Amino acid sequence: MSTLDTGLTLIRTAAGRVSKANGWMGNAFKGWMPTGLYARALLIMIVPMVVLQTVVAFVFMERHWNTVTRRLSAAVVQDIASLIDVYKGYPQDKDRAQLRRIGQRLQLVVDFLPVGDMPPPGPKPFFSLLDQTLSVQIGRQIGRPFWIDTVGKSNLVEIRIQLDDAVMRIFAQRSAAYASNSEIFIFWMLGTSSILLIVAVLFLRNQIRPILRLADAAESFGKGREAPNFRPRGAREVRRAAQAFLEMKARIERSIEQRTAMLAGVSHDLRTILTRFKLELALIGDIPEVDGMRKDVDEMSAMLEAYLAFARGDSGEVAQPTDMSMALEELRSDAERHGHTATVAFHGLPVVTVKPASFKRCLANLVSNAARHANTISITGHRDHRYLTVTIDDDGPGIPANMREEVFKPFLRLDDARNQDEGGTGLGLAIARDIARSHGGDITLGDSPMGGLRAAVRVPV
Instruction: Confirm if 91 and 163 have CB atoms less than 8 A apart.
Output: no
User: pLDDT tens, 262-320?
Assistant: 777 777 777 788 888 778 777 777 777 677 777 777 777 777 776 666 666 555 677 88
**Residues making up the chain, counted from first to last:** 461
**If pLDDT is split at 50, 70 and 90, which confidence band does 421 have?**
very low
Q: Please give the share of the chain, as a percent, with pLDDT higher than 70.
A: 82
**pLDDT digits over 138-169, tens only?**
888 888 888 888 776 667 888 888 888 888 88
Question: pLDDT by residue (tens digit) across 391-417?
Answer: 999 998 888 888 888 888 876 666 444
The answer on pLDDT for 248 being more than 80 is: yes
User: Do the beta carbons of residue 135 and residue 159 sit within 8 Å?
Assistant: no
Nearest to 345, CA basis, from 385, 312, 378: 378
pLDDT at 198: 86
- For β-strands 108-113 and 167-173, DSSP reports them as antiparallel
pLDDT tens digits for 179-207? Answer: 666 667 777 778 888 888 888 888 888 88
Residue-level pLDDT at 314: 55
376-383 and 341-347 strand pairing: parallel
Are 364 and 339 in contact, with CB atoms under 8 Å apart?
A: no
Burial of 459 (0-12, 13-18, 19+ CB in 10 A): buried
Digit-coded pLDDT (tens) for 12-63: 776 667 666 666 665 665 666 677 777 777 788 888 888 888 887 777 766 7
Q: What's the pLDDT at 419? A: 44
400-430 CB burial, b ≥16 within 10 A, e <16? eeeebeebbeeebeeeebbbbbebebbbbbb
- Measured CA to CA, the distance from residue 129 to residue 270 in angstroms comes to 97
In the structure, what pLDDT confidence band is assigned to residue 423 with cuts at 50, 70 and 90?
very low
What is the pLDDT at residue 80? 86
Residue 344: the pLDDT is 94
Contact between residue 211 and residue 235 where contact means Cβ atoms under 8 Å apart: no
